[in-house]
Homo-oligomer: A and B are copies of this chain.
Amino acid sequence: LNIREIAKRAKVSTATVSRTVNGTPSVDPKLARRVWKVVNQLGYYPNTHARGLVSGRSRTFGIIVSEITNPFFPEIVQSFENIAVQHNYEILLTSTINDPERMKLAVRRMIERRVDGVAVMTFGMEEALTSDPHLRSTPLVFVDQSPDDERSSHLHIDYLHGIRQAIAHLASLSHTRIAFVSGPLNLPSARERHQAFLTAMREQAIRVQPEFVVEGDHTMEGGMRALQHLAAHFPHRVLRPTAVLCSNDMTAIGVMRQAYELGLNIPRDLSVIGFDDIRLARFLIPPLTTVQMSQTRLAELAFHALLSAADPSDDTPAPEHRLETCLIYRRSTGPAPK
């Protein structure tokens, strides 16, 4: 069931069918109606492969995330898809489970599919992408940093603002023994958060104890290990941190879970603050105080960056490539125990 079949039945040329289906204005309404009737009647759907072959474009964007099973990402994917649908774009998803090989493969497959752009939401620009000569012709959008390339852009996230608020909040609650569980430090975005923590602590004139900053991996298991480690390291309760800031919410969940294991009450014995504000955060027990980084907004920014690069005819004005963060007060923080 192809365009020729429709043309024959509607007694017009294939060109007219094509024009009708694509909404070219210069078609006689009479003919158009005739064509649409046949199209609907027969249930004709144009073949995307043929379209893509001739146009060179696919109306498809790739989106690469590090771990779809981390609740932070589904929100992004959902928002990205919502906008994509609105703009009649398709999405090709890849969850790389943090495997560079997998990442490379994903890129290759996306190139083969001739995607019109790809959003790389891995929070750390992998070289796999910058090295591939093919990508030089495909619009790419990264988070935090991008290769120095005409077609690539990146979203700038202001981690500092929210983290500054978090530390100020803790300080106002009289906490001075503040720990930080970072993400994997080979990840640029994790490094930025770490830096922001250091900066904010300095601003509040609170000493950073080296043993209080431990490297996590942005997973719940990592969060559990981190607090376990912290607790084991300081047998004397009075020397332990009274608050811990986590590089993401999953880590915070792990920390809270380990606190439960240790018989520590949150926030009475320990205050914890997360980062991301995943939807789940408000449903934790107690509800998690966390730094919000809007996943919806992030997806929107990424999509529009891609769209304006892929389809210059699009009139939507490009929004700022900038994302703010801010603290959301909930119940996992409280006054420092003395």
Residues on A facing B (Cβ under 8 Å): 43, 45-50, 52-53, 58, 67-69, 71, 73-75, 77-78, 81, 85, 90-95, 97, 102, 105, 108-109, 111-114, 132-134, 220, 253-254, 256-257, 260, 279-280, 283-286
Contact = CB atoms under 8 A, between A and B. Distances in A.
A303 B43 CA distance: 27
Given A283-B257, A285-B260, A49 B85 contact: no
A265 to B, nearest CB: 11
Nearest to A254: B283
B257 A48 contact: no
A95 B49 CA distance: 23
Contacts of A52: 49
Contact of A78 (B48, B81, B97, B133): B97
Nearest to A224: B283
A210 B81 CA distance: 41
A49 to B, nearest CB: 4
B75 A102 contact: no
A49 B114 contact: yes
A253 B78 contact: no
B47 A53 contact: yes
A77 B95 contact: yes
Given A69-B78, A78-B95, 9 more contacts: A49-B50, A49-B114, A67-B78, A68-B77, A73-B74, A77-B93, A90-B113, A257-B283, A260-B286
A102 B47 CA distance: 20
A198 B55 CA distance: 57
A256 B285 contact: yes
A134 B43 CA distance: 7
With most chain B CB atoms within 10 A of its CB, the pick from A49, A52, A260, A286 is: A49
16 contacts: A43-B132, A45-B134, A49-B53, A49-B58, A49-B113, A50-B53, A68-B78, A69-B75, A71-B74, A78-B97, A81-B94, A85-B102, A220-B283, A254-B283, A257-B283, A284-B285
Contacts of A257: 283-285
B78 A45 contact: no
Instruction: Report the 4 A-B pairs with minimum CB-CB distance, sorted nearest first.
Output: A49-B52, A49-B53, A68-B74, A49-B49
A9 to B, nearest CB: 16
A46 B111 CA distance: 9
B74 A253 contact: no
A132 to B, nearest CB: 7
Nearest to A257: B283
Contact of A95 (B71, B81, B95, B286): B81
